[in-house]
Structure formats: structure tokens, C-alpha cells
């Protein structure tokens, strides 16, 4: 039997990563580079004029109050959506962790929103919140005698897209929380009970700390979800309105690129987003394994 000569196979690892590198280069690195270059130019529609403008697009972006507003708005949106969404999902996951008859059916039902497309989800909520024939207002009117201007008032429209986004991502969060909950050994709970802890204490002192790796992972994933995937829901439900109340960074980018014919400015926004994602990823790698309680 011949000895494995690793030195003569120095090409093998490179050959092995070539397929994924090709995909990454063509679909990720190359477009990223392109948008960086694009952000240094002002381009006329259909590319008939291309004018080098240095960092003007970035200057314009950061002196534009509407962009700063939309950054701030996005931050608020992300914070509320993640806090609300994760809390809600955790509560539901605890219920779904019970040993009930037909629990699989309930679990499937809660996962469905994640499986449908954002467009369908958005349309569904538009339908429910419709000022003319919406079910939500009908029920509110029937029970409490008032109606809410859901999509025509800036504040409520903002709430509406938060609700829709939380609902949409709920399935994903519940699945991970469920997996996390089920990996906590029963023995821990039993010993806590023997020591006389009540259910709140158990939840607070045992469940939450032991779930923290899952929670941390979900926070990172949810940031990415809410920043990027909110687009579909916003486009269908509010188109960034009323009066820009739901115009988040990703929607503004889309609009500058595809409606306002400003590819340079849109590219600059995508570079800014890229840096934000890099920061989040850095935190994920840096603190993903520390400061979080693993078993």
C-alpha cells in the first residue's frame, strides 16, 4: 500500500473549493465589487451617460435627511421587531413544547407563515387591515366600537408592518426555540423543582440562560431578516408610505435604483448596508461563542 503523499496533492484542496469559489465570485464578490464601483459614478438611465463623481454619492447620502431618517427608522423597526418577535415566539414555543395530542399539527400551523412568500403574506395583511372591508377593523369596531386607520396613518402603518414581519418570521423562531427547549435535559428541571423553584423562577433562571445560544443565533438571523426581507412586505403593504413612515433603508435603496433611476446613489446605499452586515457578522463570530451560556 502506497503511503499518502500529501505534498504531491497540494492542489487537491484548491480543486475542491473551486466550485463554491466560482459561485461566490460570480454571484457575490463580483457584484459587490461592481456596486462599489457603481457607487463612484452618476449614471443616466439606460447608461447613456456615466459621470465619475468620486465620493459624492456618499456625501449626498449622509447629508440627506430622508436617508438618515430611514436609517433611524430601520433601527427602531429592527429593535422592536426582534424584541417583540423573539418574546412572542419564545412564549409560543413553550406552549408548543407541551406533550399534547396532535401537537405536531399545531407546530405545523405555526410554521406556515414562514413558508409562504412575503408577497402573499403582505397581501394577506392588506386584506385584513383594509380600511373598507378589513376583518381587523370589523372586529375592533364590534368589540370596542372604534376603528384604526391601519395603513393610512404613519404610526399605525409602522405598527402594521412590524406585526406582519413578526408574524412572518415567527415560524422560524419557534422551530429554533423548540429545538433549544428540547435540548434542555429534564433532569435540570427536576432538580430545580426538588429545590422548590416555582415555574417563573425555572423559566427565568434555567430556561432563558440555557437557551441563550439559540437566542443569540436568532437575534443575528432576525437582524438580517428584518433588514432585508421586510422589503416584500413593505412593497405590498405600504410602499414605504404613508409619508415615508415605513420607508426603511432596503426599500429606499430599491426605490432609488428602480424608480428614481439613481444607480450610483443606490449602489452607495448597498455598500453602506454591506458594512453594517460586516459589523453584525463580526459580532457574531467574535461573541458568538463567548458571553453566551453554552452547556
Partner 1 sequence: MRKITMLLALSLVLVLTFSAAAQEDPITINFWHAMGGHNLEVTETLVERFNEQHANIEVVPQNTGTYNDTLTKTESAVRSGDAPHIVQIYEIGTQVMVDSGIIIPIEELGREVAQDDSFDWGKFLTPVSNYYQVDGQLNSMPFNSSTPILYYNKDAFKEAGLDPNDPPQTFSELKEYAEQLTIRNEDGDVERYGFTLGIVGWFVEQMVANQDALLVNNNNGRDGRATESYLDQEPAVRFVELWKEMVEEEIMLNPGRGWDGAKQAFLSGRAAMMIESTAQVTNFSENAEASGYELGTAFLPRPDGVDRGGVIIGGASLWALRDHPQEELEAAWEFLSFLTEEAQQVYWFEQTGYFPVTKSAVEREMNNQFFAENPNHMTAFLQLLLSKKGAPTQGALIGTFPEVRQIVESAIEETLQGTMTPQEAMEDAAAQVDESLQEYNSLYQ
Query: What does the binding site for partner 1 look like in residue numbers (CB under 8 A)?
Result: 42, 44-49, 51, 130-133, 141, 145, 147, 149, 151-154, 238-239, 241-244, 255, 258-262
The CB-of-234 to partner 1 minimum distance in angstroms stands at 12
Is the dihedral angle over the CA atoms 15, 21, 26, 27 positive or is it negative? positive
The CB-of-46 to partner 1 minimum distance in angstroms stands at 4
The CB-of-145 to partner 1 minimum distance in angstroms stands at 7
Cβ contacts of 111 within 8 Å, gap of 6 or more? 171, 174, 175
What is the distance between the terminal CA atoms of the chain, rounded to a whole angstrom? Answer: 44
The CB-of-81 to partner 1 minimum distance in angstroms stands at 22
Q: Which is nearer to partner 1, 152 or 199 (CB)?
A: 152
Q: Which is nearer to partner 1, 141 or 190 (CB)?
A: 141
139-147: Cβ within 8 A, 24+ apart: none
The CB-of-286 to partner 1 minimum distance in angstroms stands at 39
Kindly state the helix (H) or strand (E) to which residue 42 belongs, with its residue range.
strand 41-43
Closest by CA to 228, choosing from 165, 159, 283, is 165
The CB-of-290 to partner 1 minimum distance in angstroms stands at 45
Q: Which is nearer to partner 1, 90 or 266 (CB)?
A: 266
Closest by CA to 37, choosing from 24, 50, 22, is 50
Cβ contacts of 127 within 8 Å, gap of 6 or more? 134, 135
Q: Which is nearer to partner 1, 84 or 242 (CB)?
A: 242
Strands 41-43 and 50-52: antiparallel
Give the separation between CA 293 and CA 295, rounded to whole angstroms: 7
Q: Which is nearer to partner 1, 121 or 126 (CB)?
A: 126
Q: Which is nearer to partner 1, 35 or 238 (CB)?
A: 238
The CB-of-11 to partner 1 minimum distance in angstroms stands at 35
Q: Which is nearer to partner 1, 84 or 241 (CB)?
A: 241
Q: Is the peptide bond before 242 cis (omega within 30 degrees of 0)?
A: yes
Closest by CA to 294, choosing from 219, 218, 209, 217, is 209
Amino acid at each position: 500500500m502506497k503511503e499518502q503523499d500529501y505534498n504531491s496533492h497540494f492542489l487537491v484542496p484548491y480543486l475542491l473549493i473551486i466550485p463554491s469559489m466560482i459561485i461566490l465570485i460570480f454571484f457575490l464578490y463580483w457584484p459587490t465589487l461592481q456596486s462599489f464601483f457603481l457607487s463612484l459614478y452618476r449614471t443616466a438611465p439606460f447608461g447613456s451617460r456615466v459621470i465619475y463623481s468620486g465620493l459624492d454619492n456618499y456625501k449626498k447620502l449622509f447629508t440627506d435627511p430622508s436617508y438618515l431618517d430611514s436609517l433611524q427608522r430601520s433601527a427602531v423597526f429592527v429593535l422592536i421587531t426582534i424584541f417583540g418577535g423573539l418574546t412572542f415566539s419564545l412564549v409560543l414555543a413553550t406552549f408548543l413544547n407541551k406533550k399534547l395530542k396532535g401537537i405536531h399539527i399545531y407546530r405545523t400551523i405555526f410554521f406556515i407563515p414562514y413558508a409562504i412568500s412575503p408577497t402573499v403574506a403582505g397581501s394577506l395583511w392588506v386584506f385584513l387591515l383594509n380600511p373598507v372591508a378589513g376583518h381587523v377593523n370589523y372586529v375592533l369596531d364590534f368589540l370596542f366600537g372604534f376603528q384604526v386607520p391601519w395603513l393610512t396613518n404613519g404610526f399605525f402603518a409602522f405598527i402594521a408592518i412590524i406585526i406582519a414581519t413578526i408574524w412572518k418570521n415567527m415560524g422560524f423562531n419557534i422551530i429554533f426555540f423548540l429545538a433549544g427547549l428540547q435540548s434542555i435535559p429534564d433532569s435540570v428541571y427536576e432538580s430545580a423543582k426538588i429545590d422548590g423553584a416555582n415555574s417563573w423562577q425555572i423559566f427565568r433562571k434555567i430556561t432563558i440562560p440555557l437557551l441563550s445560544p439559540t437566542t443569540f443565533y436568532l437575534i443575528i438571523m432576525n437582524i438580517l431578516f428584518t433588514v432585508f426581507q421586510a422589503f416584500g412586505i413593505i412593497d405590498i403593504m405600504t410602499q414605504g408610505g404613508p409619508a415615508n413612515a415605513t420607508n426603511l433603508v432596503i426599500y429606499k435603496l430599491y426605490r432609488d435604483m428602480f424608480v428614481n433611476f439613481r444607480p450610483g446613489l443606490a449602489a452607495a446605499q448597498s455598500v453602506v448596508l454591506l458594512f453594517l452586515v460586516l459589523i453584525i457578522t463580526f459580532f457574531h463570530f467574535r461573541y458568538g461563542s463567548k458571553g453566551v451560556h453554552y452547556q
